[in-house]
Amino acid sequence: MSTAPGYFVSFEGGDGAGKSTHVRLLGKWLGEVTGREVVLTREPGGTELGAQLRQAVLHGEDLDPKTEALLYAADRAHHVATVVRPALARGAVVLTDRYLDSSVAYQAGGRELAEGEVEDLSLWATDGLLPDVTVLLDLDPDEAAGRLSGSPDRLERAGAEFHRRTREAFLRRAAADPARWLVVDSTASLGDVQGQIRVDVAARLGLTPEVPA
């Protein structure tokens, strides 16, 4: 848990699972019900340096797995130090589209680096900052791919087996730490999925219990 006065929520899941959509919808709603400042951000790329790192890691040349892991960790360190921690210290609600668990799922689950090493690298990079709540949008990668348009990036091109391992890694991590994770079935309609996220996130953060779905 973060110990700051704000709330820190991360969204995880495969490409096309609905992260960006639900970050936006939940952020708007949390701003209304809490009256707090809401910061919507993402990894990689939540800072100016991060945008350059995002370009390198998603649209640049082929990278070996360790280089890829280090670039994500560098993006995360800078993002946490300059965006996330200052916002939490101000009491803001910070919603991030991907965080540390994506590194573990993609670089360990997908690329098959050692899971403990990838996690420790991110914990070192962030001085141990973990979200208060992590929402996993769980969706079969084939179904998720059908929702995406545009040309695929380096990770999206990594293949069906890679994405199956990534999904399994997310689900394993969620099962191992149910106090932090909320697993949401993203096959339901957008409205139903958002409704469930609102109720469950509000409960986890200790917001008013009678919040409408």
Ligand X SMILES: Nc1ncnc2c1ncn2[C@@H]1O[C@H](COP(=O)(O)OP(=O)(O)OP(=O)(O)O)[C@@H](O)[C@H]1O
Q: Which is nearer to ligand X, 4 or 95 (CB)?
A: 95
Q: Does 3 bind ligand X (CB under 6 A)?
A: no
CA angle, corner 132, sides to 126 and 136, nearest 5?
A: 95
Positions 172 through 211 that interact with ligand X (CB under 6 A): 186, 188-190, 193
Question: Residues at the annotated binding site?
Answer: 13-20
Q: Does 59 bind ligand X (CB under 6 A)?
A: no
Question: Residues at the annotated binding site for ATP?
Answer: 13-20
Q: Which is nearer to Mg ion, 85 or 167 (CB)?
A: 167
User: How near is the Cβ of 94 to Mg ion at its closest, in Å?
Assistant: 17
Q: Which is nearer to ligand X, 4 or 169 (CB)?
A: 169
> Nearest residue by C-beta to Mg ion?
20
User: How near is the Cβ of 19 to Mg ion at its closest, in Å?
Assistant: 5
Q: Which of 7, 9, 19, 173 binds ligand X (CB under 6 A)?
A: 19
Q: Which residues bind Mg ion (CB under 5 A)?
A: 20
DSSP states along the chain: ---SSSEEEEEE-STTSSHHHHHHHHHHHHHHHH---EEEEETTTSSHHHHHHHHHHHHSS---HHHHHHHHHHHHHHHIIIIIHHHHHTT-EEEEES-HHHHIIIIIIIT---HHHHHHHHHHHTTT---SEEEEEE--HHHHHHH--S---TTGGG-HHHHHHHHHHHHHHHHH-TTTEEEEETTS-HHHHHHHHHHHHHHHHT--TT---
Within 13 Å, how many C-alpha atoms sit on residue 9's CB side? 28
Q: Does 21 bind ligand X (CB under 6 A)?
A: yes
Q: Which is nearer to ligand X, 2 or 21 (CB)?
A: 21
* Contact window for ligand X (CB under 6 A) among 17-25, 55-63, 81-89, 199-207: 17-25
Q: Which residues contact ligand X by CB under 6 A?
A: 13, 15-21, 147-148, 186, 188-190, 193
